[in-house]
Amino acid sequence: EVAGPGQPLKVPKGSRLEAWKVKGRLVIQIPAPGIQGNMVCQLMFSVLWLSFVCYWTFTAWNTGVRLFVAFSLPFWAVGLMLFFSTMLTPSLSQTLTASPLEYQVKSQVLRLGIYRFAAKVTDLEEVPGLVCMSDAECRLILQDGVQEIAFGGDLKPVEVRWIQKQLCSHWGLSVSECLANAQRAPRLDGDDDTEPHPDHW
């Protein structure tokens, strides 16, 4: 169990998810991961990238080939994006808040909100889906009309399925039927053209 402002919920063993219910709302949080080994490698790569681009740019400028300075701008952009995303990732957290009628996904860096999306449950085109790039890179997908809202990115499949169960239960749906529909959702099975809608869950 985890500490929280309301009734804490038991998350899967070993998960860094935090969840609780407060004032009739389900709150699930993915805390900031902190500094990890792969982030150090990415940071070193971005520094090397920027160092090379810096050397290239100043060499072109000093030798009078000013046109190459303009060509270096996209490489500066890529390097800076990689650098800042790597620096921000250790302090990035996400929170999913669900009421019986609405839900909200919010991203924060050092408690500063950088992204917020809120919508009605009835606008969901299908049950919350599971998408994985690998066994350690899964996310929950909320299909709001034509827009896909992602929650998480480095979750395990069991963690996303746990979130699916909590949402289905909170929205008064049969957990078994909800998960069965999720398995038949087009995002998970390209051969199935069925698109479950909340009115038919």
Distance CA 35, CA 132 (A): 23
pLDDT digits (tens), the chain, 201 positions: 334 467 899 999 999 999 999 988 999 999 887 666 666 787 788 889 989 999 888 888 888 877 778 888 898 898 888 887 777 777 788 999 999 999 999 998 877 777 889 999 999 988 888 888 888 889 999 999 899 999 988 899 999 999 999 999 999 887 777 777 666 544 433 344 434 444 445
Bridge-partner residues for 112, per DSSP? 109
Structure tokens at 109: 């860096």
Nearest in space to 150 (alpha carbons), one of 105, 89, 196: 105
156-186: b (≥16 Cβ within 10 Å) or e:
beebbbbbbbbbbebbebeeeebbebbebbb
Q: What predicted TM-score, i.e. pTM, was given to this entire model?
A: 0.67
